[in-house]
Amino acid sequence: MDTALDKPLELGEPETLHGISGSPGIVVGKVVVFSPLAEGFIRYRLEEGAASKEEQRFLAAVAQAEQSLISLRQQFEGDLADTVAIVDSHIRMVRDRMIVEQSLNLIRQKQINAEWALDLSLRLIKKKFDHIADDYIRSRFADVEYVAQLVAEQLTGQGRSFPAGFAEPVIVVGEDFSPEDTIRMHTDKVLGFLTEKGGATSHTAIVARSLGLPAVVGVADITQLCRTGDTVILDGYNGRVCLHPTMDQQQLHLEYDRQHRAFSDEMSWYIHLASETVDGLRMRLSANIEIPDELESVIYYGANGIGLFRSEFGYFQRRQLPSEEDLFTVYRDMVAALSPQPVTIRTLDVGGDKLAAHLPNSGLHFARERNPALGLRSIRFSLREQDLFITQLRALLRASGHGRLRILLPLISSLNELRQTRAVIDKVMEQLTQEGIPFNAETEIGIMIEVPSAVVMADTLAAEVDFFSIGTNDLIQYALAIDRGNEYVASMYDPLHPAVLRMISQTIEAGHRQGIEVSLCGEMAGDVFTAPVLLGLGLDELSMRPSAIPHVKRLLRHSTFGRLTALAKQLLGCGDSSETKALLKQYLADNYPDQFADNERA
Amino acid sequence: MSKIIWESLIALPRGVHCRVAAKMIEIVATHDAEVQLAAEGGTADCSSMLEILSLALTQGSSVRCTATGPNAPQVAQAIDQLLSAKEEL
């Protein structure tokens, strides 16, 4: 049962794509892909005297677009208030004077055709909206764009064609779907939505939530990556998509969904309770996130801060590098929103197989990688491309005064590497001081413990940092020499290998001897099967995907620290993972019979 | 013909977004009056949703309103009530 409850994660890496959770739920189904509309239209200057005719043509298109919206609105039944409200605001916008009057003026004054004038109007509106600081209002520009698109389609005569109905239920894939699009496709045959664009407030997300259908939005290039007819698993809880899943994975996901629905009512109880054991030992349960939009769910699920913010998003979402100001704004907003709880931001973890063409010297670096996992990646990349690193450090330090920001350095493998990095940080601090820019000089700086050498040297490293964060995903891979992406050996990737448990335990001891906090942020932390072990090993913080927090908290609140430590001690004495698993299974069945009695794992 | 000038403080948690703007337009359209808005982000005619949105009226910001026409007092009251409400009605 636990497997289904909390393990939709063990999917073949190459097939799993990450996006943003737009609406909860899991479905498995075939996809229908709507390719983005071709851009581009004809621009031409008008013959003399033709302007008034062109104005009429434009007004007729506006009227037709308006009429199509109104008739959709009338067809629309059901109590989908949010969706209807969006259609209503589109009806208003299509006649808005910023679109209509402005375009008419442009047609007349510049003697240009209606399509061109409409496009210019849209650009002028965009300019105004771009200055808006409020994300929600700024993102409404998408509505303006949509409405203008409707008018443009009437002008050019190429309407957006959606099939009137699907023969079997499908998952629809596209750039973004407007409410009108979704009404046209007859949602009783739609299983879920998967889009390239958008965040939690995108159209698709709003519509999907009001329909109660799962959605994953913001998956880069998804319209290129899958083809109509492909089967995918759409995991709206975690914002993940699995292309070409195996039958086992499909079963697992559907079971997970069933469990999730049953548990979610009970889980919501735990969101507001303290994360502590029956005997009062507290542990921070915090969130792992990849994009700032997830902040909402961090707060919703009652996380005690952010234990791992993977800062790569800012570097991969656009084709150009983010500026110091871009990064600063994101970090500051996040830190301020969660203050006084800690926000741990990991510095750039790129390189190896994660390279984007616009990163400095990427072609050069990529060509040299024969073994990406062991190559120029992560902190090594940052130390080599120092300008990039310094920009990020400046943004981080500038944000440090707005709450409790912790800087986390990834892949540290030696004391020398740590000292080199600290020297760069010191240099940046000096720069900021000279420039008179405020920052918190006491900003906590910690390292990821994810390379075996760092575990062995943890006592030495602990003396020079403020905290440790154990990254089990990489640590297991490096310690057991297993590539999870390789199907022949993936089954040997084993978080409960006694060697892994001992490494975690050693790291905690070394950290605590130096009086620093030790947290853990791998997938293990959010798995209710492995979490009890971690709780018993004495970590100060477990960081996991936000939706797992209530589950782990429930477990924690039904445990006593004494029993958890006894379990951990027993497991550390095991010689093999078959023993650790058997012991753990027994422990869970004995202590949480309601949850684990029919446990089929291990 | 009367003219009323007042200032509203936006209390709505999500500020003036589409739905609120639509209500403002409706209020103006159903009364015999015209309303002009001025805020940090510029000026807007209260008949254009896009102009209203582009003022970016977020919670805590203030907007200077001018209502003209026979029904200006009623319009002024209705709009001020809408903008200074603590939650959306």
Is residue A186 part of the annotated active site? The answer reads no
A173 token code pair: 């894939």
Greater pLDDT, A559 or A297: A559
Cβ–Cβ gap A129/B53 under 8 Å: yes
Computed over its alpha carbons, how large is the radius of gyration of chain A?
27
- In this prediction the ipTM stands at 0.78
> Could you tell me what percentage of chain A is helix, strand and coil, using 3-state DSSP and rounding each to the nearest 5?
50, 15, 35
Cβ–Cβ gap B45/A97 under 8 Å: yes
Of the candidates A348, A328, A338, A237, the residue with the CA atom closest to the CA atom of residue A284: A338
Q: In this structure, are residues A253 and A26 in contact, taking their beta carbons and an 8 Å threshold?
A: yes
Which range, A204-213, A452-461, B9-18, is most confident? A452-461
Residue A296 touches chain B, beta carbons under 8 Å = no
What mean pLDDT is predicted for residues A198-203? 68
Of the candidates A374, A229, A248, A398, the residue with the CA atom closest to the CA atom of residue A323: A398
Q: B 46-65 residues with CB below 8 A of A?
A: 47-51, 53-54, 56, 58
What does DSSP assign to residue A323? P
Residue A64, pLDDT > 70, answer: yes
Binding residues of A for Mg(2+), by number, are 450, 474
Residue A448 touches chain B, beta carbons under 8 Å = no
- Residue in chain B lying closest to A144 (CA): B50
The full 3-state SS of A451-484, as one line of letters, equals CHHHHHCHHHHHCCCCEEEECHHHHHHHHHCCCC
Residue A8, pLDDT > 60, answer: no
Greater pLDDT, A184 or B23: B23
pLDDT one-digit tens code per residue, A233-259: 999 888 889 888 888 887 888 887 777
pLDDT one-digit tens code per residue, A563-578: 999 999 999 999 999 9
* Secondary structure class of A5 (helix, strand, coil): helix
Structural domains of chain A, ranges and CATH numbers in brackets? 2-37+162-246 (3.50.30.10), 51-156 (1.10.274.10), 276-596 (3.20.20.60)
Residue A10, pLDDT > 50, answer: no
Contacts with B41 from chain A: Cβ below 8 Å: 131-132
Residue A137 touches chain B, beta carbons under 8 Å = yes
pLDDT for the residue numbered A442: 95
Q: Given pLDDT bands bounded at 50, 70 and 90, which one contains residue A354?
A: low
* Secondary structure class of B9 (helix, strand, coil): strand
- Residue in chain A lying closest to B48 (CA): A96
* Full-model pTM: 0.56
* Secondary structure class of A409 (helix, strand, coil): strand
Counted residue by residue, chain B has a size of: 89
Residue B85 touches chain A, beta carbons under 8 Å = no
CA triplet A63, A68, A70: central angle to 5 degrees?
90
Residue B25 touches chain A, beta carbons under 8 Å = yes
How deeply is A44 buried, as exposed, middle or buried, from its count of CB atoms within 10 A (0-12, 13-18, 19+)? exposed
Percent of chain A with pLDDT over 90: 41
Neighbours of A481 (CB within 10 A): 9
Structural domains of chain B, ranges and CATH numbers in brackets? 2-83 (3.30.1340.10)
Residue B88 touches chain A, beta carbons under 8 Å = no
CA triplet A449, A337, B40: central angle to 5 degrees?
140
pLDDT one-digit tens code per residue, A533-547: 999 999 999 999 887
Q: A 139-198 residues with CB below 8 A of B?
A: 140, 143-144
What mean pLDDT is predicted for residues A111-120? 89
Catalytic residue from among A90, A253, A260, A521: A521
Residue A120, pLDDT > 80, answer: yes
A479 token code pair: 């310690």
Residue B16 touches chain A, beta carbons under 8 Å = yes
What mean pLDDT is predicted for residues B62-77? 92
Least confident piece of the model among A228-232, A327-331, A399-403, A592-596: A592-596
Strand order in the sheet with A240-243: A16-18, A240-243, A231-235, A26-33, A170-174, A190-195, A215-217, A20-23
Q: In this structure, are residues A146 and A90 in contact, taking their beta carbons and an 8 Å threshold?
A: yes
Residue A365, pLDDT > 80, answer: no
What mean pLDDT is predicted for residues A487-508? 90
Q: Given pLDDT bands bounded at 50, 70 and 90, which one contains residue A12?
A: very low
Which of B20, B25, B50 to mutate against chain A (most A CBs within 10 Å)?
Answer: B50
State the Cα–Cα distance between residues A128 and A150, nearest whole angstrom. Answer: 21
Which range, A123-127, A353-357, A369-373, A516-520, is most confident? A516-520
Q: In this structure, are residues A140 and B19 in contact, taking their beta carbons and an 8 Å threshold?
A: no
Q: In this structure, are residues A313 and A220 in contact, taking their beta carbons and an 8 Å threshold?
A: no
End-to-end CA distance of chain A: 12
Cβ–Cβ gap B48/A97 under 8 Å: yes
Residue B18 touches chain A, beta carbons under 8 Å = yes
A255 token code pair: 């079971």
Q: In this structure, are residues A452 and A479 in contact, taking their beta carbons and an 8 Å threshold?
A: yes
Q: Given pLDDT bands bounded at 50, 70 and 90, which one contains residue A72?
A: confident
Cβ–Cβ gap B50/A93 under 8 Å: yes
Mean pLDDT of chain A: 84
Name the pairing type of β-strands A404-409 and A342-346: parallel
Could you give phi then psi for residue A406, rounded to 5 degrees?
A: -120, 135
Greater pLDDT, A114 or A294: A114
Residues 6+ apart with CB under 8 A from A99: A62, A93, A118, A121, A122, A125, A144, A147, A148, A151, B50
Cβ–Cβ gap B50/A89 under 8 Å: no
* Secondary structure class of A518 (helix, strand, coil): strand
Greater pLDDT, A241 or A164: A241
Is residue A521 part of the annotated active site? The answer reads yes
Q: Is the CA virtual torsion A11, A14, A17, A18 positive or negative?
A: positive
Which of B10, B14, B16, B18 to mutate against chain A (most A CBs within 10 Å)?
Answer: B18
Contacts with B19 from chain A: Cβ below 8 Å: 85, 89
Contacts with A143 from chain B: Cβ below 8 Å: 18
**Helix axes of A51-75 and A81-94: crossing angle, nearest 10 degrees:** 170
Least confident piece of the model among A53-62, A280-289, A315-324, B11-20: A315-324
Cβ–Cβ gap B19/A89 under 8 Å: yes
Which range, A123-137, A177-191, A356-370, A463-477, is most confident? A463-477
What mean pLDDT is predicted for residues A339-365? 78
Binding residues of A, by number, are 310, 346, 450, 473-474, 484
pLDDT for the residue numbered A601: 39
Residue A60 touches chain B, beta carbons under 8 Å = no
Q: CA of B32, closest CA in chain A: separation in Å?
A: 19
Q: Given pLDDT bands bounded at 50, 70 and 90, which one contains residue A456?
A: very high
Of the candidates A489, A473, A571, A478, the residue with the CA atom closest to the CA atom of residue A526: A473
